[in-house]
Amino acid sequence: MAFYGGKGAQNRKFHQHKTLYSNTKELKGLICKAQRDKKENSNSKGGNSTKKILISTNLSHKQWKFVALGNIKVCTISEDEVSSEAFDPEDAESAKEKITRSIANRRGQAKFRKKLLQVYDAKCAISATNLPPVLEAAHIVPYQGIRTNNITNGILLRSDFHILFDLGLIGINKSYQVVVSSSLGGTEYEEYHGSTIFLPTREDDRPSPMALKSRALPYRNEVAS
C-alpha cells in the first residue's frame, strides 16, 4: 500500500499517534478532575455538562486532537494486543452470523422510524428536539422481530435519551410521565423528571400503556424526588 509523503512522513505520523495514546492516562485524569470540580461548583449547573467539563479541563492542542479524532487509523499495536492463542475459524463464522442477524434486525427499522417521525411531528417525545438526524426509533418492549415494530411499541427519542432509556436510567410511566434515575441527579436530564412526553395526535398511535408498564422504572430515592 502506498503512503503519501514518503517514509519520513509515515514515521512522523506514527510517533505523533504513539504520543497521543501514551497520554491517554493523563487525559483521563484531567477530565475526571474537571468533572469533580463541576460537581463541587454549585454555579456550574445547566447547559451542556460534557462541553463544560471538556472546556474547563484546559486540554492541550494534541489532547483536543485525541478527543476529537478518537478512533485513529494509525496507532501502535503492542505485543499484548496480539492473541497468542490458536485461531479458530469457527469464531469468525460466529461473528459473521452476528453481523447477519444485526443487519436483519435493522431491516424494517427505516420504515418504523419514518412512521414515528410522522406521528411525533419529527420531535423527540421528551425534549422536543426537532433535528431528525439525531432522532431514533426506540422500542418500549425490546426488538424481537417485526411484530415489535408496531407504532404503539415505539417512541421517538433523541439519541442520548434513547441510550439512557435502553439503560433504564430514564423511563416513562403508564401516565406518560418521564422518570429520571437518581443517579442522573445534578445533570441536565434531571429537569425532565416528572414532565409529560409529547404524544401523537391520534390515540391509536400513542405508546401502549401495557408496554410501558412492562418496563421497570428507574430508581428514585426520596431526596431526589
Render each residue's pLDDT in the chain as its tens digit; 225 residues: 444 445 555 555 445 444 444 555 666 666 666 666 655 665 655 555 555 555 555 666 666 556 555 544 444 545 555 555 655 566 666 666 666 555 545 445 888 999 999 999 999 999 999 999 999 999 999 888 788 889 999 999 999 999 999 999 999 999 999 999 999 999 999 999 999 999 999 999 999 999 999 999 999 885 444
Q: What is the C-alpha R_g of the chain? A: 23
Please tell me the predicted confidence (pLDDT) of residue 224: 42
Residue 188: CB partners within 8 Å, gap ≥ 6? 46, 47, 48, 49
Please tell me the predicted confidence (pLDDT) of residue 109: 80
Please tell me the predicted confidence (pLDDT) of residue 143: 82
Please tell me the predicted confidence (pLDDT) of residue 63: 62
Residue 216: CB partners within 8 Å, gap ≥ 6? 168, 171
Strand-pair partners of 196 = 177
Report the predicted TM-score, pTM, of the whole model to 2 decimal places.
0.53
Please tell me the predicted confidence (pLDDT) of residue 1: 41
Please tell me the predicted confidence (pLDDT) of residue 180: 96
Tell me the Ramachandran region of residue 181: left when phi exceeds 0, alpha when psi lies from -120 to 50, beta otherwise: beta
Cα distances (Å, whole numbers) of residue 75 to 10, 14, 173: 12, 7, 46
Burial grade of 165 (CB within 10 A; 0-12, 13-18, 19 or more): buried
Tell me which residue has cell 421528551: 126
The neighbour count for residue 42, using CB atoms within 10 Å, is 7
If you ran DSSP here, which 8-state letter would residue 80 be given? Answer: G
Q: At what angle do helices 24-40 and 6-22 cross, to 10 degrees?
A: 40
Strand-pair partners of 178 = 172
The answer to whether 156 and 127 have CB atoms below 8 angstroms apart is no
Return the C-alpha cell found at 187.
445533570
Please tell me the predicted confidence (pLDDT) of residue 84: 55
Please tell me the predicted confidence (pLDDT) of residue 5: 47
Residue 215: CB partners within 8 Å, gap ≥ 6? 140, 141, 168, 171
